[in-house]
Structure 1
Amino acid sequence: MRVLFVGNSYTYYNNLPAMLEGFAQALAPGKRLQTGSVLEGGATLSSLWKGDKARPLIRDGSWNYVVLQEQSMLGGLRINGVPYMNDPAEMFLPYGRLFAQEVKTAGARPVFYMTWSRKTDLPAQDVLTYAYASLAREQQGVLSPVGLAWQRVRRERPGLELYFEDGRHPGPAGTYLTACVLFTSLFRQPCLGAPSTLTGAPWVDTAFDTSRTETLVALPEDTARYLQQVGSEVGLATGLPETDVAAPPSPVLPSLPRGVPFEAGQMAGEWQGTLALYPEERGMAPVPFQLSLTTQGTQLAGRGRILFSHRAPLEADVTPRIEGEVLSFSFQDPHLFEGTLNLRAVLVEGELRGVVSAADPQGGRWFGSWSARSVQGSPSTEPRR
């Protein structure tokens, strides 16, 4: 049996492919299991589809199964630095379908590796269940309902820690439970009696270091037996989970208020304020934002500056445009986004109040808000009368 994993850190933490191989070696000795992987930290199915590794390997690998694992929030959506569960229809379903068709064309069967909700948001599992189960049904693929097993363990034994310390990634016990469910889903047999200690290659930077072997998990026997029991029962449950859970309501994106008309001459000078866009967990939201504007005839030019607490400021030239009551310009961020921030603002009571949007290299969507006031001594921003 040849199994290819396509996903991200939820698969390479604690080397899930190696744990699956360990289960197969112990419980299905008549079958030889080989695994391959295309794994990138933070990757979405969108970014993996657009990359140059996954599709050629699917076509050329003579795989029996291809395990597809989406980014944990179904493609990535952040508003003012806060992560939100994305609507499955935005990224997960379209790219899941593309991958499923590619897999089936290559003669393999797609396996949908249902992930788990983050530690602080257990109800989000309903959305993940809806997304993965509905796609598996539609594409006639194999559903590996890992998230449902995690949900059950969290309710039955809240003291059994499945998570890594960040509350998102799997700890060793979490990957062990994941391997239990995946083994049961693929081999259609219980994972009872699997070893409680498993070894494999560690993940180093961007790949598994096959020159080294380390202990991936070492569980007390009673804990391993419990996880095997849950994994077997969930993985062998008859039929797919019900998919009548509604798709998540779309969160409210920042929007522009009503402003007043203005001219380029009114905007020249120094503006200072804050911008909320960057990840909260990095201590960056909101961050100070400065905008220096000058007039060149009837046009504006200037420079923007974003100040961070943990790294050097980000500075870039900007060329603002005025269309009616809206000021708009772009700002380059070569670090986090490797691309462009798009900013728009209106003038309200002498203050610029704006919105910002960007896309990260994995295709995640980012939205935020910003505001700035003219510093003392700058030209008047009183509206035209």
Structure 2
Amino acid sequence: MIFICIGFFWQLESQSKKTEFNILFIGNSLTYTNNLPLLVKKYAKKHGVTVNTKMIAKPNYAISDHWYDGEVQKLIASQTFHFVVIQQGPPSQQDGKQLLIEYGKKYNILCKNSNAKLAYFMVWPPMNHPERLDRVIKNHQYAAKINKAILCPVGEVWRNHFKTTNNYDYYGSDGFHPSKKGSESAAKIIVEHLFPK
């Protein structure tokens, strides 16, 4: 029993000292605009963590679309990723909320079987529909809680930025996709929630 306990605590200690991680990003244009995974990699390095990333992101894709394609299941099952970051969005309506919950559960089962941790990348609605942002935030919070996943609250931080500065510079020129500054903000939030200090 003593040897088992020693082994267990040694494993915990070695995991806490780990500084290199593999992250799989699954999403759409809100993820691949400005190459968010690359920005995460750069910010993580400043955070003292080495990150290797892979991105599966297609225009107008939902996390259910990726599931039907079948590629993400193979990637997660390969057991090469420590984190799987899924992006659905912007899910302000009931059907979007259900996708976050139901498919989040499917992804989470795969993650647990592959020793990975699921994380939600909380996004934002179009700039001309600010009334939807509170629902986007609540739906992500609920889905992450139900599925016991990490929540990267990008949309919530954006809301606070808008309220305190009255500046919408996190949006790009189309009023929906992120500007470079917006993607840099998202990268910072994701790193700080995947690797809290």
Unaligned runs of 5+ in 2: 1-20
What secondary structure does 1:17 align onto?
A: helix
Q: Deviations over 1:148-195 (max 9, x none)?
A: 011011111223511111111101011011011101101114xxxxxx
Who wins on radius of gyration, i.e. which is larger? 1
| Corresponding position: 1:21 with 2:41 | yes
Unaligned runs of 5+ in 1: 75-84, 190-385
C-alpha RMSD of matched pairs (Å): 1.5
**Letter in structure 2 aligned against 1:92:** L
Equivalence map 1:131-170=2 (5 Å): 131-170=139-178
Higher relative contact order (CA 8 A, sep 6+): 2
State the TM-score, normalizing by the size of structure 1.
Answer: 0.44
Q: Structure 1 CA distance, aligned partners of 2:97 and 2:32?
A: 26
Shift of the alpha carbon at 1:26?
Answer: 1.9
| Corresponding position: 1:59 with 2:77 | yes
Shift in CA distance, 115/66, structure 1 to aligned 2, threshold 3 Å:
same
Q: Deviations over 1:332-368 (max 9, x none)?
A: xxxxxxxxxxxxxxxxxxxxxxxxxxxxxxxxxxxxx
Shift of the alpha carbon at 1:9?
Answer: 0.7
Equivalence map 1:283-294=2 (5 Å): none
107, 110, 124: which one aligns with 1:99:
107
Contact residue 118 and residue 150 of structure 2 kept, 8 A? yes
Aligned residues: 177
**Letter in structure 2 aligned against 1:5:** F
State the TM-score, normalizing by the size of structure 2.
Answer: 0.84
Q: 1:126 — aligned with what? A: 134
Shift in CA distance, 13/34, structure 1 to aligned 2, threshold 3 Å:
same
What secondary structure does 1:111 align onto?
A: strand
What secondary structure does 1:188 align onto?
A: coil
Q: 1:36 — aligned with what? A: 54
Shift in CA distance, 10/142, structure 1 to aligned 2, threshold 3 Å:
same
Q: Structure 2 CA distance, aligned partners of 1:104 and 1:97?
A: 10
Shift in CA distance, 104/163, structure 1 to aligned 2, threshold 3 Å:
same
Shift in CA distance, 57/106, structure 1 to aligned 2, threshold 3 Å:
same
Q: Structure 2 CA distance, aligned partners of 1:176 and 1:63?
A: 23
- Report % sequence identity: 24
| Corresponding position: 1:116 with 2:124 | yes
Contact residue 89 and residue 124 of structure 2 kept, 8 A? no
Contact residue 73 and residue 110 of structure 2 kept, 8 A? yes
What secondary structure does 2:50 align onto?
A: coil
Structure with greater strand share of residues: 1
Equivalence map 1:265-304=2 (5 Å): none
Contact residue 104 and residue 147 of structure 2 kept, 8 A? no
What secondary structure does 1:4 align onto?
A: strand
